[in-house]
C-alpha cells in the first residue's frame, strides 16, 4: 500500500467553496437556517503523494488529477484506494460536490475491501486508509452543510483510527465550527 499523506487546507480556500455551496443551498430553500462559515481552524484532507497523480494533487492541479483519474475509471488495478482517494480530494477542492460523493464512497469501499484477509497485526495502514477516506468524506459533508453526515463520517473515522492526524484535526475543526460541541464523543 502506498503511503498516505495528509495536508492541511486553509479554511480560506475551503471557505470559498463552502460559501458557494451555502449560497446555492440558501437559494434553493430560503426557509433553512444559514450555515456557519468555516472558522479560522483548518481542515485536513488526505491523499497519496506517491501514486495515482498524487504529485499533481499536492501541487493543486485538480483539473489534471480529475482528467487523469476519472478517465481511467476502474482501470487502476491494484491502486483503487489511492486513485479513488486522490480523485475524491480533487473533486472536493474543485467544488464538484456530486462527483466527489462517488469518488469518496469508492475510496471507502476500496479501502475496506483491501483490508480483508490482512492479519490483525498488519492492519494499521489499512485502517488509516479507511479512516482517511471517511474523514475526507466528512469534509465534503461539512462543505455541503450536511453536518449530520459529516459527524457520522468522523465518528466512523475515529472508531477506526482515533489518533490519525486528519481525523483529530477535522474533529477539532468541526467542533469549533459547531460552537464547542464534540461531534464524535
From CA 125, how far away is CA 118, in angstroms rounded?
11
For residue 62, give the CATH number of its domain.
Answer: 1.25.40
Average pLDDT in the 48-72 region?
86
Decide if 185 is inside a domain: no
Cα angle value 152/133/113 (rounded, 5°) = 105
Decide if 28 is inside a domain: yes
Average pLDDT in the 154-165 region?
91
Decide if 182 is inside a domain: no
Decide if 14 is inside a domain: yes
Report the chain's C-alpha Rg in angstroms. 16
Who has greater pLDDT, 5 or 163?
163
Decide if 164 is inside a domain: yes
Average pLDDT in the 150-179 region?
87
Return the C-alpha cell found at 15: 471557505
From CA 89, how far away is CA 137, in angstroms rounded?
9
Least confident range from 67-71, 76-80, 86-90, 115-119: namely 76-80
Residue 58 confidence class, pLDDT cut points 50, 70, 90: confident
From CA 145, how far away is CA 151, in angstroms rounded?
11
Decide if 184 is inside a domain: no
Supply the pLDDT for residue 115: 78
From CA 183, how far away is CA 171, in angstroms rounded?
7
Supply φ then ψ for residue 164, to 5 degrees: -65, 130
Decide if 183 is inside a domain: no
From CA 170, how far away is CA 159, in angstroms rounded?
14
Decide if 44 is inside a domain: yes
From CA 70, how far away is CA 113, in angstroms rounded?
20
Q: Please, what sign has the CA dihedral across residues 170, 172, 178, 182?
A: positive
Supply the pLDDT for residue 102: 93
Q: Could you list the residue range(s) of the whole structural domain that residue 31 is in?
A: 4-177
Instruction: Encode pLDDT of 100-136 as tens digits.
Output: 999 999 999 998 888 777 776 777 777 888 999 999 9
Supply φ then ψ for residue 114, to 5 degrees: -65, -30
From CA 178, how far away is CA 184, in angstroms rounded?
12
Runs of H (alpha helix) within 51-182: 54-58, 62-72, 80-93, 97-115, 124-143, 147-160, 165-177
Supply the pLDDT for residue 99: 94
Count of domains forming the chain? 1
From CA 142, how far away is CA 151, in angstroms rounded?
8
Amino acid at each position: 500500500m502506498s503511503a498516505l499523506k495528509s495536508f492541511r487546507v486553509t479554511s480560506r480556500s475551503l471557505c470559498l467553496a463552502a460559501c458557494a455551496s451555502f449560497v446555492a443551498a440558501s437559494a434553493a430553500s430560503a426557509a433553512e437556517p444559514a450555515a456557519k462559515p468555516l472558522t479560522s481552524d483548518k481542515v485536513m484532507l488526505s491523499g497519496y503523494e506517491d501514486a495515482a497523480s498524487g504529485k499533481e494533487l499536492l501541487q493543486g492541479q485538480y483539473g489534471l488529477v480529475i482528467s487523469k483519474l476519472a478517465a481511467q475509471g476502474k482501470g487502476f488495478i491494484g491502486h483503487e484506494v489511492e486513485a479513488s482517494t486522490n480523485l475524491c480530494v480533487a473533486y472536493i477542492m474543485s467544488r464538484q460536490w456530486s462527483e466527489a460523493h462517488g469518488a469518496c464512497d469508492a475510496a471507502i469501499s476500496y479501502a475496506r475491501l483491501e483490508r480483508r484477509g490482512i492479519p490483525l497485526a498488519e492492519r494499521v495502514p489499512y485502517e488509516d486508509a479507511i479512516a482517511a477516506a471517511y474523514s475526507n468524506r466528512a469534509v465534503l459533508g461539512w462543505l455541503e452543510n450536511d453536518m449530520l453526515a459529516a459527524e457520522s463520517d468522523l465518528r466512523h473515522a475515529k472508531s477506526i483510527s482515533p489518533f490519525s492526524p486528519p481525523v483529530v484535526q477535522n474533529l477539532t475543526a468541526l467542533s469549533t465550527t459547531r460552537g464547542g460541541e464534540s461531534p464524535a464523543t
